[in-house]
Amino acid sequence: MAFDNGIIDLRSDTVTRPTPEMRRAMYEAEVGDDFWGDDHTVKRLEEKAAQLFNREAALLVLSGTIGNILSIFTQSKSGQEIIIESRSHLWRCEATHLSTVSRVTVQLVSGDRGIMDPDKLRSYIRGNELEEPRTALVAVETSHNGAGGTILPPKNIAAISSFAKSNKLAFHIDGARIFNATVELGIKPAEYISDATSVMFSLSKGLCCPQCSMIVGSKDFIEEARRKRLTLGGHLRQGGFLAAPGIIALDTMIDRLKEDNDHARYLAETLSAEGLAELDLTSVQTNIIRGDFRPICRNPKELTEFLAKKGVLVWIGDDSGMRLVTHYWINRDDIEKLLSALREYAQR
């Protein structure tokens, strides 16, 4: 399907653009001032998100990072500690806010493809000794970007949820791409998250909204997070313009994410079978492919520029490592064009 300019962009699902229906909804959105609580479009979106996850309330935020910040900032105190997986987005790409905003220390746990062993988490809890920080929260990520889009099994989430509850810890799920996981598992979001005290999910990735994420949780948690959102930059004012496409996304875009997962699987299998890339097929569980182009790549910059001239944008690191991400604006024909370009490059 590509974009209107013919560009096929596989760098991330953050490059998605709103559908025509979303653009119309933004134009026609009923808006008010969110500070006064009279933006009814925002209210409808927040109610819909809360119902989807069977939680009391939800809050619209400008980004997934802000959603994660608010979830940790609200459920921990300065000087406390949180437990997170060592390759999680929270650590790899957002670590500065842990020290500068929430002012917490971190216990990193090495997981198997992003999956932490709940039986071993007890040893990471601290606070019994006077010189130790008190553990306040445990966080997981699903699907797990750093591990290649892997899905945390429902049993694992339930076990970590039970662990957190029995140890009086908050439990946060960074679910930026959680719907890619739930559609692949064939379960409802509310069933998947167990007793998590907070969940963040993105509207601006596979769901195609131009901006924003959501956090869901108890009424008390969301009320406090709303206050802390003001600390981080204020209210959304006429947030209905951003909430309107979110309503369409939750109504119409979740189930179709299975197509993105299937496209990623097909692409990964073809890359591997034809020796165009090295990758672990067992890690390709949603819409993300991680691996490297070493079998064909003589120079990462050269390959990137070659593909760009063919109208295909990909991310390739200096070591030929790559991440390819499928989304609404990528169809089977686009994937075939990428494969054709890679074959041509390999034969040069």
Q: What average pLDDT does range 341-347 have in this prediction? A: 96
- pLDDT at position 3: 65
Range name among 203-207, 211-215, 294-298, 304-308 with the lowest pLDDT average = 294-298
**What separation in angstroms does the CA of 242 have from each of 20, 25, 237, 239, 307?**
14, 9, 11, 5, 33
- pLDDT at position 2: 66
Q: Which pLDDT tens digit goes with each residue over 104-146?
A: 999 999 999 999 999 999 999 998 888 899 999 999 999 999 9
Its pTM stands at 0.96
Q: How confident is the model at residue 263 (pLDDT cuts 50, 70, 90)?
A: very high
Query: What phi, psi does 297 have (nearest 5°)?
Result: -90, 115
The boundaries of the domain holding residue 41 are 31-252
Q: What average pLDDT does range 211-232 have in this prediction? A: 96
CATH number at residue 289: 3.90.1150.10
Cβ pair 123, 99 in contact under 8 A: no
Selected residue with higher pLDDT from 234 and 266: 266
The share of the chain scoring above pLDDT 70, in percent, equals 99
- Asked if residue 2 belongs to a domain, the reply is no
Cβ pair 184, 151 in contact under 8 A: yes
Look at residues 203, 236, 252 and tell me which one is the last residue of a structural domain.
Answer: 252
Look at residues 252, 279, 307 and tell me which one is the last residue of a structural domain.
Answer: 252
Q: What average pLDDT does range 64-90 have in this prediction? A: 96
State how many domains the chain has: 2
- In the beta sheet, which residues pair with residue 108? 84
Cβ pair 281, 268 in contact under 8 A: yes
Q: What is the DSSP letter of 37?
A: T
Domain check: are 191 and 235 in the same one? yes
Look at residues 252, 268, 299 and tell me which one is the last residue of a structural domain.
Answer: 252
Spell 87-116 as b/e; 16+ CB within 10 A means b: bbbbbeebeebbeebbebebbebebebbbb
Neighbours of 37 (CB within 10 A): 11
- pLDDT at position 6: 87
The share of the chain scoring above pLDDT 90, in percent, equals 89
Cβ pair 153, 161 in contact under 8 A: no
Asked if pLDDT for residue 5 goes beyond 80, the answer is: no
- pLDDT at position 35: 87
CATH number at residue 144: 3.40.640.10
Domain check: are 320 and 192 in the same one? no
Domain check: are 168 and 236 in the same one? yes
